[in-house]
Each structure stands twice: as structure tokens, then as C-alpha cells.
Amino acid sequence: MKKLIRSIFLTSILFLAGYFYACADDLNINYDSNTGVFSIPFGKSVNYTDILVTRVVDGDTLVLENGSRVRLIGIDTPEIHDSSKLKRDSQRSKEDISTIKKLGLRSFEFTKKLVEGKRVSLEFDVERYDKYDRMLAYVYLKDGTFVNAEIVKEGYASLMTFPPNVKYVDLFTKLYQEARQNKRGLWGDK
């Protein structure tokens, strides 16, 4: 009986070790000399400093080559899909749904032209995911263009600030006010 238990135990250990090894891109054993703790990161690691945007869902949401959805922090573009948010935005703004969708399509086209099919880097703030399990990020093109800021600067987004993700709120506010005053993008239609 002891041999059977030992055999099951060893087989389980080998199975788990093989599983974790297969899941790991590279096995990096880290040692923190301050705490005396070893850590072994498991799972696939993703390089968010150089990743492809494969699709733009709408003016403020992207899909990356690894399948992750990214919600651009600090900005909000008009909706293009039927949703409860579209209805709320219509009631709040007193704009009809078709007008909001047309504006949303313009934001979508701007964002699509700006980032789809391009490699980007992501910068995270305090919270990494929203309640819809989308990654929350500031996105940069390889030439250094700050995507979130560019969309606001060109007049294709309003501001949406959710503390604690407020790192660039002052910059976005300034760009938003300038876009509205200069009637850029969507503000030229008002």
C-alpha cells in the first residue's frame, strides 16, 4: 500500500512539474534577498512593450494578437453597437441613437487608421482590468505617439476618468478643451 501511495505521489509531482514547464515560456527562478522568498513565474508571458493590434472594436477598445481586449484609459468615444450604454448616452446627451452611432463610427475609423495592424506598447496604471475583464492601458505606437492622447487631441473622444487610474488626467483635460475650442474631429459637427 505504501508503494502505491508513493508511486501516485511521485507521478502526480512529475505530472505537475511537466504541466507547469509546458505552460512556461521560460523558467525564471527569482530570489528576493530582502524577504528570502523564491518565486517561479508560470504561464505564458506576454511582451506588452511590443505587441500587434489586430483589430479595433470601437474608438476606445482594441484587440491584441494574443486575444486580449484593451480598453484605453481616460477616454470615451461614442458607441457604435447597440447597448445599454448607447441608450444611457442618448438619454443623457439628448442626441438620438443614430447620431451617436454616426459619431461613434467616425471615432472608430480614426482609431482604426491610427493603430490597427501596428505594433504598440502598453503602459498600465493602478488597476490592470475593468469589470468586463478588459485590460486597461495607455497605448503607444512605436514612433512614440500616445494613442489615448492623440484620439482626444484630434477631437474623437470625451474624457472618462475612473480613479485610481488618473495618471494623465491633466493632459487629457487640456487636450480635450483645446479640441473642443478648435472644433476638431467630432466637435466640428456640433
Fold adopted by 51-189: OB fold (Dihydrolipoamide Acetyltransferase, E2P) (2.40.50)
Q: What secondary structure letter does DSSP report for 73? A: T
The ranges of the chain annotated as CATH 2.40.50.90 are: 51-189
From CA 184, how far away is CA 156, in angstroms rounded? 8
Q: Are 75 and 81 in contact (CB under 8 A)?
A: no
Q: What is the pLDDT of residues 44-68, one digit of tens each?
A: 678 999 999 999 999 999 999 999 9
Q: Does 79 qualify as catalytic in the annotation?
A: yes
Q: Does 184 qualify as catalytic in the annotation?
A: no
The single residue of 69, 116, 123, 134 carrying the catalytic annotation is 134
Q: Does 6 qualify as catalytic in the annotation?
A: no
Structure confidence at residue 2 (pLDDT): 76
The answer to whether residue 160 scores a pLDDT higher than 60 is yes
When the pLDDT of each residue in the chain is averaged and rounded to a whole number, the result is 87
The answer to whether residue 105 scores a pLDDT higher than 80 is yes
The answer to whether residue 126 scores a pLDDT higher than 90 is yes
The answer to whether residue 111 scores a pLDDT higher than 90 is yes
Q: Are 79 and 107 in contact (CB under 8 A)?
A: no
The answer to whether residue 182 scores a pLDDT higher than 70 is yes
State the pTM of this model: 0.76
